[in-house]
Chains A and B, each alone.
Chain A
Amino acid sequence: MNALEIKNVTKRFGRIVANNNINLTVNSGEILAILGENGSGKTTLMNMISGIYHPDAGEIFVNEKPVVINSPKDAFALGIGMIHQHFKLVDVFTATENIVLGIEDKKRLNMKAASKAVLEISGKYGFEIAPQKKIYQMSVSEKQTVEIIKVLYRGADILILDEPTAVLTPQETQKLFAVLRNMKEDGKSIIIITHKLNEVMSISDKVAVLRKGEYIGTVNTAETNESELTEMMVGKKISLNIDRTDPHDQKERLVISGLDLYNKNGIKVLDDISFAACSGEILGIAGIAGSGQRELLESIAGLRHISGGEIIYNDPKTEETVSLKDMSPMKIRELGVRLSFVPEDRLGMGLVGNMDIIDNMMLRSYRKGKSIFLNRKPPRELADTVIRDLEVVTPSPQTPVRKLSGGNVQKVLVGREISAAPTVLMAAYPVRGLDINSSYTIYNLLNKQKENGAAVIFVGEDLDVLIELCDRILVVNSGKITGILDARNTTKEEIGLLMTKTGGADNEEE
């Protein structure tokens, strides 16, 4: 029987069509994987099933009856439970309080009994959980455990997991998959959203593919293979063919040694990091999301206070060495260090969403000159240049950047960062959420910087891109460097192994 069916569902956000005419079916006792690149509309679709968003058109059936899901409450009542990519937990509550939150029950609230039930569920599936622990004291994986138990506790029949493995170690992923298989045996329907093909192949019964908000089709996992799925996902078979030149004139531009960093909860997030980034090369950084990549770049950029180690910059002109340790971004700039940084969070950090392109262009440079007033002429010219050279699609330079599409936002950000002719350029996930064309624009820009003699540091998630774009690849795992590889002579498998904790034992995924 069809547990869940979606017919011709469409959702728009302003002018952007996030989902167009999507069709899906899941049976009881079946695992459906929804496959699609970042920005293909997977999360939007699931948010409509779980009542967070409201579809503009189309129908949803649960157990073959048409339903209208106006709120998450409606979704729960229909037995639909969603585990969000961004955890929806109340920080000051305990695990149990979060788990029982929102449950309607005539009986009195009994925290002890609830904690016991939580422990029973976690025992049954092999989770580790402390029911009385407050969320703000928990690690990321503990929080995910709470999220999953929350849905299990409600006895959901249809489970939706939005990229659950992005924050998990391989062992945790395997455990999770084991749990999912158990639930499938139980007759439950599971939808797992992912863009990792190996996971699709290993866990799912059926795969539905989305591309840029469009529904491409559904295939049985047993009757397909990775290359067919890739083709469905990206449209046509693409070999990356990124133009990579040989590194030239390599000098150690940035030398990191013994860097340690603790986060605000006192957990060590970077542990004895040492490496050198050279001019004229692209140094890639690979790792599971949340392994310390972000913290590393922010430490170098002067946004974090490191507790140990040294960051040394070798000035190409004067040949002098400068310590960047404990320098604010402003100080670093004042020292004449041309360090550019494209952060992961574009609108939340790299740009100001409500400001127009011109004002965003001067974020880095507004202080120039002695006048107390702003000089908007250079940023205006820079905005025009960036719009022209990078083919930014915008009504005018006066348009607030939050109104631009993701790819154009990124072009504005990267355009500004490379305009300073950086000697060090750091970019975190610069092509995330971008279409193929925009991605290639970014690759070309990075390559150009490399040719100009900049030391480029590229944090990526797609191993194929890392291997084809970079000269060397640094692999991080839980805040430690597990290897620095020559990109021309390595394989995805080798990188994958280094990204996982114990190396050889965990390669069953491949």
Chain B
Amino acid sequence: MKKSEKHKHAKLIYISKRANVSLSMQIITRVIALALALVVCGIITKVLSGENPFKALAIFFEGAFEGKRLLPTIHELAILLCVSIAVTPVFRMKFWNIGAEGQVLIGCLATAFCMLRLGGKVPEWALMIIMSAFAILAGMIWAAIPAIFKAQWKTNETLFTLMMNYVAIQLIEYFLKIADKSGSNTVGPELLNHGWFPKLFGVQYLFNIIVVAVITVLMYIYLNYSKHGYEISVVGESENTARYIGINVKKVIIRTALLSGAICGIAGLLLVGGYSYSIDSNLAGGRGFTAIMVSWLAKFNPITMVFTALLLVFIGRGADQFTQIPKYGLNGDFADIITGIVLFFIIGCEFFINYQIHFSHRSKEGKQ
């Protein structure tokens, strides 16, 4: 009986899942989160650089959208979007592929390999077809290995795909050592001087941008209106249901991973063949990981992803501009800090969308 003494205080707060969430409520919550993130970022910018946050924000906008910087921003958006689109089908299936980085890199490697070995030996158009095929195939293989083990033996795909990233990085290092005996860390345009994708209408990167736009629309249709997309949703929601209606779950897992890997391969192809014309082990630049966040923030909807990707690209490009101004004394990693903070707030606000906080009846009675 003494024991019960300490239970005098009622728990004031408890949590339950929301039954219905209206769209406007979702948007308002996210806008509030973004605003709070901006305030925190403003304070941090002020502390680190001494600059007035509004001025800083203006520099960010300038860095992302002004004049000559706009096209690279759109291109950056396209590449990030491409990788995000790639990871989306497997995520819808609750297959946590965090190996996009490696799948992109292996696509880069396949492209560079073709450019180096076949460049000048076959017609340009043939080279482009061959390197595209190789890049796609390489990405597919890289995604298929963990997927087969997941489907067949339930091997943890998160950890498996994570490790595959580093295998891919070292494979590129190996390639660099072979391709360029000087021991340099990149193989550049001097060696990869064939198979460059054309400048459409004289606009740089337009080829890449169009390819990604097409992929995005196709993926949206695939996921929402195709039989495959439907199967992916069923497997993701309940494997038991999938079994019950006779979906071959293993087949769907592997098929979807192949698709995911193929698009990662395309991202690698575009990076090397339509952007950098060079290769190094940092070419994917963490986009494989950023894409996971982009896809998740967009609730795995390819169209919404355009906006979530834009948000992150905006921060990256804006911070890049900001840190180029010497008086602030910041380096490029400033972008990562801002990205981190914005992500924390957006990740955190999901809670307020999905759950409801109740204050216990006692406090309610007090108010009445």
Contact = CB atoms under 8 A, between A and B. Distances in A.
Contact of B230 (A13, A359, A371): A359
Interface string A323-359: 0000011111100000001010100111111110001
Contact of A303 (B11, B234, B237, B244): B244
Interface string A296-308: 0000011100000
Contacts of B10: 68
B6 to A, nearest CB: 8
Interface string A428-443: 0000000000000000
A131 B233 CA distance: 43
Interface string B2-19: 011001111100101001
A301 B245 CA distance: 9
Interface stretch (A17-25, A54-62, A92-100, A241-249): A54-62
B326 interface: no
Interface string B244-278: 11111000000000000000000000000000000
A67 B7 contact: yes
A116 interface: no
A14 B19 contact: yes
B260 to A, nearest CB: 18
Interface stretch (A69-77, A221-229, A269-277): A69-77
Interface residues of A, number: 47
Interface string B228-249: 1110011001101101111110
B1 interface: yes
A63 B7 CA distance: 14
B186 to A, nearest CB: 42
A1 to B, nearest CB: 11
Interface string A169-188: 00000000000000000000
Interface stretch (A311-319, A360-368, A455-463, A472-480): A360-368
A15 interface: yes
Given A67-B4, A331-B246, A374-B226, A56 B237 contact: no
B226 A57 contact: no
Contact of A78 (B4, B234, B246): B4
Nearest to A79: B3
A372 interface: yes
Contacts of B20: 403
B227 A348 contact: no
A302 B245 CA distance: 10
A367 B238 contact: no
Contacts of A333: 246
Interface string B347-368: 0000000000000110000000
Contact of A363 (B16, B225, B245, B360): B245
B4 A349 contact: no
Interface string A468-503: 000000000000000000000000000000000000
A86 interface: no
Contacts of A77: 3-4
Given A350-B241, A352-B233, A373 B246 contact: no
A65 B1 CA distance: 8
Contact of B11 (A54, A302, A341): A54
A245 to B, nearest CB: 30
Looking at B1, B233, B245, B360, which has the most chain A CB atoms within 10 Å of its CB?
A: B245
Contact of B227 (A68, A78, A373): A373
B4 A329 contact: no
Contacts of A331: 246
A75 to B, nearest CB: 11
Interface string B158-184: 000000000000000000000000000
Contacts of B361: 56-57
Contact of A341 (B244, B247, B248): B244
Contacts of B237: 352-355
A366 B240 contact: no
A408 to B, nearest CB: 15
Contacts of A364: 245
B241 A348 contact: yes
Contact of B238 (A54, A332, A352): A352
B170 to A, nearest CB: 35
Contacts of A57: 361
A259 B228 CA distance: 35
B324 to A, nearest CB: 46
Interface string B112-135: 000000000000000000000000
Nearest to A69: B7
Given A63-B1, A349-B240, A352-B237, A328 B19 contact: no
Contacts of A70: 7, 11
A328 B246 contact: yes
A65 B6 CA distance: 12
Contact of A54 (B14, B19, B246, B248): B14
B280 to A, nearest CB: 39
A74 B244 contact: no
A15 B19 contact: yes
Contacts of B229: 374
Interface of A: 13-15, 54, 56-57, 62-63, 65, 67-70, 74, 77-78, 301-303, 328-333, 341, 343, 345, 348-355, 359, 362-364, 366-367, 371-374, 403
20 contacts: A54-B11, A54-B14, A57-B361, A65-B1, A67-B4, A67-B7, A303-B244, A349-B243, A350-B241, A351-B241, A352-B237, A352-B238, A354-B237, A363-B234, A363-B241, A372-B228, A373-B225, A373-B227, A374-B225, A374-B230
Interface of B: 1, 3-4, 7-11, 14, 16, 19-20, 225-230, 233-234, 237-238, 240-241, 243-248, 360-361
Given A77-B4, A350-B241, 17 more contacts: A54-B14, A54-B360, A65-B4, A67-B7, A77-B3, A329-B243, A329-B246, A349-B243, A349-B244, A352-B234, A355-B237, A363-B241, A366-B227, A366-B230, A372-B226, A373-B227, A374-B230
